[in-house]
Amino acid sequence: MFSIASPSGAFRPFFRLSSLCGVSLFLMCTMATAAPKVEDFSTGTRDPFVAEINQRLTQHWQDNEVTPSDIADDEEWLRRVYLDLTGRIPSADAVREFLDKKGEAPSRTEVIERLLNSNEYVENWTTVWTNLSIGRQTPQRVSRRGMEKFWREAFARNRPWNEVVTDLILAEGHFEENGAVNYLLAQMTMRDEQVLLTAKTAKLFLGQQLQCVQCHNHPFNQWKQEQFWQFNSFFRQIDKIDHRKTDPNTGRRVDDYSEIVRREFSGPVHFDRRDGLKQVAYPIFDGQTVDPQAETDRREELTKLLKSGERPAIASAMVNRMWSHFFGYGFVNPVDDIGPHNPSAMPELFQRMTDEFIKNNYDVKKLMSWIVNSKAYNLTSRFNAGNEFDDPAAGETPLFSKMYLKSLEAEQLYDSLLVATRADAAGRADYQEMQNRREQWLRQFIIEFGNDEGTEATTFNGTIPQALMLMNGQLVRNALSLEGDSFLQQLRQNTNMKSIDKINEIYLTTLSRYPTPRERNALNQLFRASSEEAAMQDLMWALLNSNEFITNH
């Protein structure tokens, strides 16, 4: 064990960050607000399909002899829905408004609708799908700004999902004039023959993992090697062109822009089987053959096939991915490995949601609304004796009888720190400088894997170096600053507030809840034992580094 200096200079044992002067900061163990019974609960929505989802969930729990957890109290639920829909925690004012039962506090469904129509929703999902499309580390000759513009417009207008997928696959032109082009550019490398693009499209939009069947048949995958190359042949009529220009200041040739253009291609593609024999593959998808002649626009024909049939894969893949986003686990796990080899946790509900998603014109907002208005989403993360075994982290099939814990994404953590502390105000940075700081901070949590797809992942998993950076990094130092317009500075200057009021405010802005009586009594002792400034900094530091802050529950 070793020690780390807290803001006021005191030293606290590293492995006891969940305790400060007897104050329990461990995840959600202290909330005791009364909540309605599961069977009587409603968010207030009048959507009949939510009632059907709830009925199916109730039957599912009964069939599996599992007792669902209680309904989450308002503080727990509000923080969760803000993180999941907007990518950040609620402000203290938003928490107060929702908890103010004496006034006209909004219902849960009213909060959901407001968040779904907010700018923060658009920005959050722009970030989510930009990362999914091109990665957190922008590839060379790819415009992140262009990709973000495409997704921002898609979510702001709530464009039907099938149209969005179509635009990405058919994209051509300048990488900023048509932002969808960047999805294709990010997957294209020299002499790659669109292999990465083939695997990425199947994974992201069809929920299928094809990287293994590129070279050989896989015993547990419904796709075979020939089908991979049949799918690949749809992408052979595109090419990328990287343009350069002369820098007027230096006279040197520099990168200008990239674009996607159509190129002539006809006939089959050729691939090597594992036994060394060569084989041909024509453009075929889901058993439907497309004319392989040069005049056929293969990508356009593919988009038609992707939307055809009773239950297109682009619909089921999106439903599964969205369910996984909100619960931490999909109906099928992993989310990009759907198929008969990998059975669904709730096949009937999965199919019904897919059918209803299609019926409602691939409406993404409506899909999210169904999920967050459901009883399952509104359950607490605390388990009971009747659902303790519902633990997908241990390899069990998820029963969705409680809310599973989710680690915050790096972007969620960063943006939540700013909401909680107004650290950006303390730093006195302009917008561009703040964006640069955000990107620099995020890079510390990203690694790239050298696999067939060049994928990447965040490494924010609670390791000691990451914990040290959170505790003593520049962002947290700004958060604890008593300068400028920082949160703590404003709190210090408010001489009309008592110490207990300031304790309440620090809890509201960080954990989205009020302290419990036990926490309040312990913190009163802390504030009496040291200066108010030091006590506020110590408390804020401890809460920001608690399990309760860095997880979504």
Mind listing the pLDDT tens digit for each residue in 383-407? 999 999 999 999 999 999 999 999 8
Mean pLDDT of the chain: 85
pLDDT at 357 over 90: yes
How many CB atoms sit inside 10 A of residue 356's CB?
A: 18
Nearest-angstrom CA–CA distance, 497 and 491: 8
Q: Which band of pLDDT confidence, cut at 50, 70 and 90, is reported for residue 495?
A: confident
- First CA to last CA distance, the chain: 28
- Residue 119 CA to chain centroid, in angstroms? 16
At 180, list the tokens.
Answer: 């969808």
Q: Which band of pLDDT confidence, cut at 50, 70 and 90, is reported for residue 426?
A: very low
pLDDT of residue 457: 56
Any idea which of 169-178, 273-282, 342-351 has the lowest mean pLDDT? 273-282
Taking each helix axis from N to C end, the angle separating 298-306 and 161-170, rounded to the nearest 10 degrees, works out to 160
Mean pLDDT calculated for residue range 188-206: 90
Q: If DSSP codes are grouped into helix, strand and coil, which group holds residue 396?
A: coil
How many CB atoms sit inside 10 A of residue 287's CB?
A: 7
CB 95 within 8 A of CB 78: yes
CB 311 within 8 A of CB 355: yes
3-class SS letters over 301-323: HHHHHHCCCCCCHHHHHHHHHHH
Q: Which band of pLDDT confidence, cut at 50, 70 and 90, is reported for residue 3?
A: very low
At 36, list the tokens.
Answer: 């309605």
User: Which carries the bigger pLDDT value, residue 353 or residue 224?
Assistant: 353
Mean pLDDT calculated for residue range 441-467: 55
Nearest-angstrom CA–CA distance, 502 and 488: 9
Q: If DSSP codes are grouped into helix, strand and coil, which group holds residue 77?
A: helix
Highest mean pLDDT among 14-23, 76-85, 497-506: 76-85
Q: Which band of pLDDT confidence, cut at 50, 70 and 90, is reported for residue 469?
A: low
pLDDT at 10 over 50: no
Any long-range contacts for 306-311 (C-beta under 8 Å, 24+ apart)? 306/162, 306/165, 306/166, 306/169, 306/205, 306/206, 307/162, 307/166, 311/351, 311/354, 311/355, 311/358
Nearest-angstrom CA–CA distance, 531 and 160: 56
pLDDT of residue 300: 97
Nearest-angstrom CA–CA distance, 306 and 312: 6
How many CB atoms sit inside 10 A of residue 26's CB?
A: 11
pLDDT of residue 107: 93
pLDDT of residue 4: 39
pLDDT at 29 over 90: no
Nearest-angstrom CA–CA distance, 473 and 242: 39
If phi over 0 gives left and psi between -120 and 50 gives alpha, with beta otherwise, what is residue 361?
A: left
Mean pLDDT calculated for residue range 304-327: 96
CB 171 within 8 A of CB 272: no
Q: Which residue in the block uniquely carries the two structure tokens 């084989």? A: 279
| DSSP conformation class of 270 | E
Nearest-angstrom CA–CA distance, 531 and 549: 25
pLDDT at 448 over 70: no
User: Which carries the bigger pLDDT value, residue 411 or residue 470?
Assistant: 411
Residues in the chain: 553
User: Which carries the bigger pLDDT value, residue 83 or residue 275?
Assistant: 83
At 101, list the tokens.
Answer: 């039962």
Q: If DSSP codes are grouped into helix, strand and coil, which group holds residue 434?
A: helix
CB 472 within 8 A of CB 4: yes
Nearest-angstrom CA–CA distance, 437 and 523: 33
Domain boundaries, the chain: 1-27+406-553, 40-106+313-404, 121-306
Nearest-angstrom CA–CA distance, 148 and 131: 9
At 39, list the tokens.
Answer: 């069977």
User: Which carries the bigger pLDDT value, residue 322 or residue 470?
Assistant: 322
CB 513 within 8 A of CB 89: no
pLDDT of residue 545: 83
Burial degree of 275 (CB within 10 A; 0-12, 13-18, 19+)? exposed
pLDDT of residue 429: 55
Nearest-angstrom CA–CA distance, 298 and 295: 9
| DSSP conformation class of 68 | P
As a whole number of Å, the CA-based R_g of the chain is 26
Any idea which of 316-320, 386-390, 545-549 has the lowest mean pLDDT? 545-549
3-class SS letters over 218-253: CCCCCCCHHHHHHHHHHHCCEEEEEEEEECCCCCCE
**Which alpha helices (H) appear in 328-457, and where do they start and end?**
347-359, 364-373, 410-421, 423-427, 431-443
To 5 degrees, how large is the angle CA 536–CA 479–CA 496?
Answer: 40
Nearest-angstrom CA–CA distance, 549 and 553: 10
Nearest-angstrom CA–CA distance, 341 and 332: 11
Mean pLDDT calculated for residue range 220-227: 70
C-alpha distances out from residue 163 to 107, 306, 386, Å: 33, 11, 44
